[in-house]
Amino acid sequence: MPGGFTGKILRVNLTTKQVSTLPTEKYMDYGGGHGMGSAIFFELVGAQLPFEAFDPRNLIIMMASPFAGTFMPGSGRCEVQGLAPMLHPIEWFGHSNFGGRFTAQLKFAGWDGIVVEGASSEPVYISVIDDKVNIESAAGVWGMDTWDTQQEISRRVVPSLRYGEWAELAQNCFTTQIPAVVACGPAGENKVRYAALLHGPGSQAAMCGYGGVFGSKNLKAISVIGTGGVPIADPQALMDARIWFRQFQWDVDNPRDAAMFSSGYSLINGAPSGGNVSNGDRVPARAAACASCPRGCKQRLATGDSNESVCAGSMFASIGGGGMFGGGAKPKSADGAAAKPASIAMAAALRSKLTRQGNDLMQRMGIGHWPVMAMRGYINTAISQGLVKAELPPQGTYAYYEALFRMISLREGELGELAAEGPARMAEKLGRYKEDVHGGSLRLTYWGTQEHYDTMTQLEWGYGSLFGERDLMLHQMSNYPVHWMAQSGNPYLTAEEASKLYAEAMIPYQDDRYLIDYGVSPETGIYSDSKIKLTAWTKHYEKFWHGMGFCGWRWPQCITNNTADRRGATPNAEPRFWNAITGQNKTFADTMEIGHKIFTLDRAIWNIQGRTKAMEVFPDYIYDRPSGGSIQPMVIDGKWVYDQGRGRQHDRAKLEDFKARFYKFEGWNPDNSYPTRATLEKMGMKNVADVLQSKGKLG
């Protein structure tokens, strides 16, 4: 086996209670991580598709990568795959991921991944201690929230564990570690379609509803603890690469341009602690990190709440105005006079405390933080318009969020049942899908997931989601580094300089200077061949590198303000670390071609599930309403500028033409979007071509 791999993938059948292994070597042509997960999914159930996400035949696949358990920066996330109950109109084969220390422990236990199939007749959890794997009863754990579940399972797995002391896992086998547990909460047990998986206090696999798939399998949690290591092909080369990489990191002792990109812009510059967007620096906190990540975007707070939650996980519940932006109404004393400064400070602290605890409640119930954002708005609309009779406490109070989370997680009442189905299916059940989704009041732009950044200007996000299965959620492409840099009003690169550095990084399309021209010029803008390459590059990078556990808050890094010449680590860092760890000799272009192969395999799975060319369209409002825009680099009148691109509307005919050219570029039939036999066989996937042909879906 190449370095970085343990050589075996755990296979657990919950119906038969059989535990076996799959050899990693068999799937090496797919790189690792997501690619291997897709290959396993296709091999085990591809020919049986279509079926639904809560069918026991669905798989939960949790993949590590060669990087997990090493100190390759920002590479330790766990890739989760399987049919996704959250997605719409078909429960597409999807993916989500979560950070923390799960994949590191999985590798230390000797596994490259876990495949769970079937469904148990009674609640269980899976315990992995090195090569000892047991399916254990979850009696007494089923019904617990995600935090209590992790604590209780840790106690059961390692009863002798005491903080700071050695515990005996097996004979002559000791650890100071607690098991890494990933669990569903009450929302997952009740098959809420956007139920999350939670690991640690705040690391969520938020997308796709895999918590609900755990629930459908009567699977409460997976616990992993290992005492081994990860084989590294060339330890010296890995150490050299890691030291070399320091130039791309935020330098705590000498932060370049710290004043330019502080506080909210820590997402751009890579400074620690910036992920908890509701705390800022109000409560003293130290940075916390996923295994292997020197950035540490998370926080551990002195107050002990909101720990390790980031972004939507720390800002969904905003209580009394204590959320992302703090502040809120200024309190008054009983006679109406302005309150004293001490009272104001105390009230603000209380609002912040309640906000953090409200968000923690969401984590404990196991509700996906990003999808519930769209859900909350639609619930409020349904109540206020009298579409559903339900009462909730006043919005903005802790009681409101407590009642909301309980209603969704336990499917309480008519509204709870509707809300648990997610906003797209709730709109359908209310008979309002066309009016609300196509009309644009419920912006479910991408397969039942909500619009995130402007579809018309952040183009790889819009196209990458349309040609994928969910919101792309790839901030580090040109969203944080370019959009937010320009949005700051003080960009450290001109639009033209940024476009040059991006083109240099985006191998194999480095000869195209207009890859990130987000303008409307027919030659280089929104429907141009440059945007086809931008979309392809983004999807291929997503499938290979993000699927390899790379964090979307760190990778790719085409530019950075941490280096003197503003060049980022991409495309040199990725192959340098890969080759040091695996001992292979891959170029960046090699990995992107494997990403292309994985994307084509995922495409074939979606086609078998029912994806057609006609389905790949945006809701009507994207064509019919002027876009609000979103600042990006673009060429206007022959000059590179930063511009909002406001007022655009997609043109249906031009988008159809773009789609056909994109399919052809990828080696798929431009008339029906199905991959061709020639493409699949060239990629070594004759088996996929045969199944597609048997289903009448070969391009």
Q: How many CB atoms lie within 10 A of CB 495?
A: 25
Nearer to ligand SF4, 275 or 491 (CB): 275
Q: Which positions from 439 through 478 interact with ligand SF4, judged by CB under 6 A?
A: none
From 318-326, 426-434, 549-557, 684-692, span contacting ligand SF4 (CB under 6 A): 549-557
From 243-251, 296-304, 431-439, 459-467, span contacting ligand SF4 (CB under 6 A): 296-304
Angle at 228 between CA 171 and CA 68, to 5 degrees: 150
- Residue 195's H or E segment, with its range, is none
From 292-300, 344-352, 357-365, 610-618, span contacting ligand SF4 (CB under 6 A): 292-300
295 binds ligand SF4 (CB under 6 A): yes
In whole angstroms, how close is the CB of 203 to ligand SF4 at the nearest point?
Answer: 8
Q: Which of 296, 423, 619, 645 binds ligand SF4 (CB under 6 A)?
A: 296
- Residue 337's H or E segment, with its range, is none
290 binds ligand SF4 (CB under 6 A): yes
Q: Which of 554, 597, 603, 697 binds ligand SF4 (CB under 6 A)?
A: 554
Site track for ligand SF4 across 642-671, x = CB under 6 A: ------------------------------
Q: Which of 433-441's residues contact partners 24+ apart within 8 Å by CB, and which partners?
A: 436/378, 436/381, 437/619, 438/619, 438/620, 438/621, 439/620, 439/621, 440/619, 440/620, 440/621, 440/624, 440/625, 441/381
Q: Which residue, among 396, 456, 532, 412, has the nearest Cα to 443 in the 3D structure?
A: 456
Beta bridge partners of 133: 128
SS3 623: helix
- List the structure tokens of 560: 């950075």
Could you give the CA distance from residue 154 to residue 172 in angstroms, rounded to a whole number?
20
Residue 225 CA, distance from chain mean position = 24
Nearer to ligand SF4, 238 or 291 (CB): 291
Q: Which residue, among 31, 35, 106, 97, has the nearest Cα to 68 in the 3D structure?
A: 106
Q: Which of 11, 298, 351, 611 binds ligand SF4 (CB under 6 A)?
A: 298
From 287-295, 471-479, 574-582, 630-638, span contacting ligand SF4 (CB under 6 A): 287-295
In whole angstroms, how close is the CB of 448 to ligand SF4 at the nearest point?
Answer: 25
382 binds ligand SF4 (CB under 6 A): no
Q: Please count the residues of this chain forming the interface with ligand SF4, following the rule CB under 6 A.
A: 13
277 binds ligand SF4 (CB under 6 A): no
Q: Which of 4, 32, 74, 212 binds ligand SF4 (CB under 6 A)?
A: 74
99 binds ligand SF4 (CB under 6 A): yes
Q: Which of 62, 138, 268, 293 binds ligand SF4 (CB under 6 A)?
A: 293
Nearer to ligand SF4, 296 or 320 (CB): 296
425 binds ligand SF4 (CB under 6 A): no
SS3 assignment for 350-386: HHHHHHHHHHHHHHHHCECHHHHHHHHHHHHHHHHCC
Q: Which of 45, 60, 181, 297 binds ligand SF4 (CB under 6 A)?
A: 297
Nearer to ligand SF4, 100 or 519 (CB): 100
Q: Tell me which residue has tokens 């797995």.
A: 157
551 binds ligand SF4 (CB under 6 A): yes
Question: Given the DSSP bridges, would you call strands 8-13 and 113-117 parallel, antiparallel or unpaired?
Answer: parallel
Give the helix ranges, DSSP H, for 625-672. Answer: 652-666
In whole angstroms, how close is the CB of 276 to ligand SF4 at the nearest point?
Answer: 10
Burial 571-592 (b: 16+ CB within 10 A, else e): bbbbbbbbbbbbbbeeebebbb
Q: Tell me which residue has tokens 């495309």.
A: 571
Nearer to ligand SF4, 67 or 446 (CB): 67
207 binds ligand SF4 (CB under 6 A): no
In whole angstroms, how close is the CB of 354 to ligand SF4 at the nearest point?
Answer: 25
Contact 485, 602 (CB under 8 A): no
Which residues of the chain form contacts with ligand SF4 (CB under 6 A)? Answer: 74, 99, 275, 289-290, 293, 295-298, 551, 553-554
